Amino acid sequence: MSILFCSSEIYPYAKSGGLGDVAQSLPEALRKKAKVYTVLPLYQTIDREKYHIEYTGTTFFYFLDGVEHQFDIFTSKNNKYELFIYNPIICDREGLYHDQFGDFGDNALRFGLFSYACIELIFHMKLPIETIHINDWQTALIALLAKTKYHLSQKVVLTIHNLAYQGIFPKTVVDQLSLDWEQCFKPEALEYFDKVNFLKAGIFYCDTITTVSPTYAHEIQTPLFGKTLDSTLRDNSYKLKGILNGISYDVFDPQTDPMIFKHYDYKTLEDKQINKKKLLKEIGFVETEKPLFVFIGRFTHQKGIDLLIESFNLVKNFEANFIVLGSGEDNYNTIFNNISVCYPNVYIKVGYDETFSRKLYAASDFLLMPSLFEPCGLNQMIAMRYGSMPIVAKTGGLRDSVTDFTDVDYSNLRNYTGIGITYEEHNIFWFMHAIAKALSLYGNYKKYQKIIKHNMKVDHSWKKSAKEYLEIYKS
């Protein structure tokens, strides 16, 4: 079985969130049973020397709307199944999709070019591909091109990691990408309120759609979570399946993680305390015995940032410390930068920092995830692996991966994949109630420890879910 896995992010080369993690860890898990080629743009921010990335000797050209574009193919010396496409329009800039002024104005062209190049690559590199696996809007156009332009025999699997991002652009893109108006600009393809929508075309033209948790697969077919594509997804529900993401047990492992202060596992939890003490010292907090709550994530409405900000006024008097790491929408960055001095027990770091995030997972007692919706969420799984208890809104993949500790039958712990604190409604009362429950549980430290030890032993790797993807490829 051989797969071409196309993604606009793959950790450690390029990552803005969970897509980067999944595009690294799923192929890694699948490689035990299948030949999986991954393809990523060779963004200028990727350190070619550090990762031993070399030119393969293959270059090809493609004409779009009368303009000739050049694509150079690179590979990693460490793994010949990792391929990279270099094209100056796609790659030569800071940032993946945007800079401080907003989204790049030519993203449709950039990821249109990348989509063409992923298909052309199969021919030019003579790859024996049976299935093409595409991810989110950035590569969704591949399904349309495969079926309408190239008439490929290969099947196409589309994974929706987050329906909130669809790749919506002005319809002039149809000409810019040399697409056929009649065939492509219709409601069962790209057309979307007189614009184009890349993800919508992917949904119609792929052979199978997966999304990243069973609950989210159900939610996106409802008007509340469907982001205006719910009826499109209902029409295509016969080929839609929810498969819960896993995390890489090589990357996220407190026993080997090179970014944390001291390695530990469920048998040496006292060493986790060393991580907590050192981190708090590093940021200038003196009271290291108090429970530590952290938030790690993109600053966007989806992640419940408003609730988080609202909660600071209430938690400022709690016997607990809070650390926030994230970056995102400008208004949130500004708020966080301004309020960081207002609360003595709240530390805020605005920015993207992989090392600091690992230190937070290792140091924290609780991880906050007040998301409005969460397709799968990886943070809660990473947190559980590092012995930090997730406090989550009951939505999407959070619902599928975390059971509230008050609903657990402790004589049968094996039945539970993850245990934490969950709450139902997105408002400050429920959120504060969840934090209060956490403080009370922390008071019963024996019980708290029993739960985090259980979470650290539970399997959140790709073992089970990779099998489900293999079944899909086979079918």
C-beta of 43 vs 295, nearer to ligand ADP: 295
The alpha carbons of the chain give a radius of gyration, in whole angstroms, of: 23
CB of 375 to ligand ADP, least distance (A): 7
User: C-beta of 120: minimal distance to ligand ADP in Å?
Assistant: 29
Least separation in angstroms between CB 435 and ligand ADP: 20
Could you tell me the two tokens for 475?
Answer: 């079918």
CB of 382 to ligand ADP, least distance (A): 6
State in angstroms the smallest separation of the CB of 139 from ligand ADP.
Answer: 16
Helix (H), strand (E), coil (C) string for the chain: CEEEEECCCECCCECCCHHHHHHHHHHHHHCCCCEEEEEEECCCCCCCCCCCEEEEEEEEEEEECCEEEEEEEEEECCEEEEEEEECHHHHCCCCCCEECCEECCCHHHHHHHHHHHHHHHHHHCCCCCCEEEEEHHHHHHHHHHHHHHCCCCCEEEEEECCCCCCCEEECCHHHHCCCCHHHHCCCCCCEECCEEEHHHHHHHHCCEEEECCHHHHHHCCCCCCCCCCHHHHHHCHHHEEECCCCCCCCCCCCCCCCCCCCCCCCCCHHHHHHHHHHHHHHHCCCCCCCCEEEEEEEECHHHCHHHHHHHHHHHCCCCCEEEEEEEECHHHHHHHHHHCCCCCCEEEEECCCHHHHHHHHHHCCEEEECCCCCCCCCHHHHHHHCCCEEEEECCHHHHHHCEEHHHCCHHHHHHCCCEEEEECCCCHHHHHHHHHHHHHHHHCHHHHHHHHHHHHHCCCCCHHHHHHHHHHHHC
Non-local CB neighbours of 398 within 8 Å, separated by 6+ positions: 369, 371, 374, 377, 380, 390, 392, 422
Structural tokens at position 165: 């991002």
Which residue, 217 or 325, has its beta carbon nearer to ligand ADP? Answer: 325
Residue closer to ligand ADP by CB (options 10, 145) is 10
Considering the complex, what minimum distance in angstroms separates the CB of residue 157 from ligand ADP?
A: 19
Residues that bind ligand ADP (CB under 6 A): 17-19, 21, 162, 296-298, 325-327, 352-354, 357, 376-379, 382
Nearest approach, Cβ of residue 27 and ligand ADP (Å): 16
Rounded least distance, CB 361 to ligand ADP, Å = 7
- Which residue, 386, 326, 377, is CA-closest to 358? 386
The CA-atom distances, in angstroms, between 269 and each of 121, 272, 290 are: 48, 5, 16
Of how many residues is the chain composed? 475
Nearer to ligand ADP, 185 or 462 (CB): 462
Closer Cβ to ligand ADP, 196 or 369, answer by number:
369
Nearer to ligand ADP, 16 or 273 (CB): 16
Q: Minimal distance in Å, beta carbon 47 to ligand ADP?
A: 18
Closest CB 211 distance from ligand ADP, rounded Å: 12
CB of 10 to ligand ADP, least distance (A): 13
Q: Which two tokens stand for residue 279?
A: 């981190």
**C-alpha distances in Å from residue 280, one per residue of 66, 207, 261, 291, 366:** 58, 50, 12, 11, 15
For ligand ADP, give the closer residue by CB, 161 or 272. 161
| Residue whose CB is less far from ligand ADP, 201 or 392 | 392
Of residues 18 and 202, the one with the C-beta less far from ligand ADP: 18
Nearest one of 423, 453, 458, 417 to 438, comparing CA atoms: 423
Nearer to ligand ADP, 114 or 373 (CB): 373
Nearest to ligand ADP of 29, 382 (CB atom)? 382
Distance of closest approach, residue 379 Cβ to ligand ADP, in angstroms: 4
Q: Which residue is nearest to ligand ADP (CB)?
A: 18
In the bound state with ligand ADP, the residue whose beta carbon lies nearer, of 117 and 325, is: 325
